Structure 1
Amino acid sequence: MEKKIGMLVNTQKKGALDMANRLVQWGKKKGIVFLFPPHEASILGVQATPDDVWKSTIDFAVVIGGDGTFLRASRYILNHSISLYGINLGHLGFLACGKPEEAEADLEQILREEYALQQHRILEGIIWREGRRKHTLYALNDLVLTKGAFARVITIEIRIDNRYFNMLPADGVIVSTPTGSTAYALSAGGPIVPPHVPCMVLAPICAHTLYARPVIVGENDVISLIPRGTHRDLMLTQDGQLGYEILPGDRIELSLSRDKVVNVVTLPQRTYFDLLQEKLKWGQGIERNENKE
């Protein structure tokens, strides 16, 4: 019986397309069929599987690209129990952690069921305008409220569980999941939080006060962001890929979703902390110096 695996590809990268074609040829020899949604199929010149059939047929999918491709894939499968395994052809690659040179061996290991699933919590954001729900958004990494192109400070009222917390003058504010703690929030001075720790990170962007610091917020808490003043050039970005206009007085409620997660395939020889050490090069300089002594 042929085994079927879904595949999602960054079609803008030649290396990702080459990797996809390589796996397709390998799969033919192994009796493994890769199923492609219409977009990927049209670029690769292979048979397409309609979106609804694709999502209802496969149990796990290979994501070829970088973390941006993985974020897009997480939105695509969000309401389905499809696990994702990423092969990194980008830069840091905290989400897509598989190595291209080990792709076939990794997939064989997964097919032997020698893997674990790591649940990544999803951030839910609701934009309220004049008392009505305007948008509901879901993000694997973060939702970010920022000012526009002009160098003006915005003032954001922050409430936690509907209790006043802070009035923040800043360029913006990041609310991230543990998954997103190694993305934009890290650049803004936030902590690194492992995916299995249930919480949110609230990180100011270029705050115009000496007392603003990143804050860890509990998994059952609700963060509200309310822009104050008359500044109209505001944007809420979803995983750095989609943007929504925000008006003064809008209320953005953010919390960890209670019913949506993304399951990420992990291999026992490549843990999250191994990945941190490799990507951030922790301890490597010390080891080299010790070897010289």
Structure 2
Amino acid sequence: MDRHIGMLVNTQKKGALDMACRLIQWGKKKEIPILLPPHEASILGVPATTDDIWKTMVNFTVVIGGDGTFLRASRYVLNHSIPLYGINLGHLGFLASGKPEEAESDLEQILRGDYALQEHRILEGVIWREERRKHTLYALNDLVLTKGAFARVITIEIRIGNRYFNTLPADGVIVSTPTGSTAYALSAGGPIVPPHVPCMVLAPICAHTLYARPVIVGERDIINLIPRGSHRDLMLTQDGQLGYEILPGDRIELSLSHTKVVKVIVLPQRTYFDLLHEKLKWGQGIVRYEDKE
């Protein structure tokens, strides 16, 4: 069976480009084709594979960069069943969890089949304007409704399905997947949710009320956000990378997609809870007392 590794790279980082060159040379020595789409190939000066062919040929893809690169990669492969493995050259790296010094050994382990696939649910958002579908968005981490540059509170009506839930005066609101629970939602006081737990997190941003708290919403629920008032400087951001203008009276319908997932390669020696322990420094600096016999 032919083995083809795809590669997606943060071309703005010299370290990522150096790592990509290193792995391309490793692939040549191992006689394992590493395929790059046109943008990455032009920067690295190697032969390119067209997007359509790339998406049909690769068995899995190594993503070199940080979590932002991983989020872009997830949108790139969203309609194709291509597992992703991230090598982290960013900061925390909850998505891109591989270590640069172990890159070659990790890829060899994956090629041996010594890994598991973890399906990460995708958030689907539909912007309705005058009851017409304006945009349909997909996000691995979150969709966030926020005010613009002016320091004005916005008022957001929240409905779960057709039932009224709350009217929230706030700087904005985050709706995240479990994957995104360690991103923006965490900084807004939301809970950490493992990727295999099917739910959504609804987290207010700087709510102007004492009673607003993050809420866990079920996997089959539908969240509707409706901005009220005349505030026109509103934005819906997709994974913190793409933005869409929101007008008063628009309705943003949010749910977990039932047709789209992102497949992430997980190595048995590097579990999600190991990652939390490492990245969040849990338990470090705490004195441990042992019972004396």
Q: How would you bin the TM-score normalised by the shorter chain?
A: over 0.9
Matches within 5 A, 1:1-293: 3-286=3-286
Distance 1:204 1:53 in 2: 42
Gaps of 5+ in 2: none
Contact 1:61/1:84 (<8 A) preserved: yes
Provide the aligned C-alpha RMSD in A: 1.2
Displacement of 1:32: 1.1
Give the Cα–Cα distance (whole angstroms) in 1 for the partners of residues 49 and 262 of structure 2.
22
Q: CA deviation at 1:33?
A: 1.2
- Percent identity (aligned): 86
Matched residue of 2:26: which SS?
A: helix
Report the residue type matching 1:83 in the other structure. Answer: P
State how far apart, in whole Å, the 1-side matches of 2:171 and 2:138 are: 23
Return the alpha-carbon distance in structure 2 between the equivalents of residues 192 and 243 of structure 1. 25
Cα displacement (A) at 1:88? 0.2
The residue type equivalent to 2:108 in the other structure is: E
Distance 1:238 1:10 in 2: 19
Q: Is the 8 A contact 1:3 1:31 kept in 2?
A: no
Q: Give the C-alpha shift of residue 3 in structure 1.
A: 2.8
Distance in 2 separating the partners of 1:85 and 1:290: 39
Structure-2 separation of matches of 1:233 and 1:46? 44
CA deviation digits over 1:135-179, x for unaligned, max 9?
000000000000000000000000001100000000000000000
Would the aligned equivalents of 2:3 and 2:59 in 1 still touch at CA under 8 Å? Answer: no
- 1:208-239 CA-to-partner distances (Å, cap 9, x unmatched) read 00000000000000000000000000000000
Q: Output the amino acid matched with 1:249.
A: G
- One-letter code aligned to 1:235: M
Question: Normalising to structure 2: TM-score of the pair?
Answer: 0.98
Amino acid in structure 2 at the alignment position of 1:111: L
Q: Unpaired segments of 5 or more residues in structure 1?
A: none
Q: Secondary structure at the match of 2:4?
A: strand
Give the aligned residue type for 1:98: G
The total of aligned residue pairs comes to 291
Where 2:81 maps in the other structure, the secondary structure is coil
Q: Is the 8 A contact 1:59 1:81 kept in 2?
A: no
Taking the aligned partners of 2:69 and 2:158, their CA distance within structure 1 comes to: 31
CA distance, structure 2, for counterparts of residue 94 and residue 82 of structure 1: 19
After superposing on structure 2, the runs of 4+ consecutive aligned residues of structure 1 that deviate more than 4 Å are none
Residue 286 of structure 1 deviates from its aligned partner by 1.4
Measure how far apart 1:290 and its partner are: 5.4
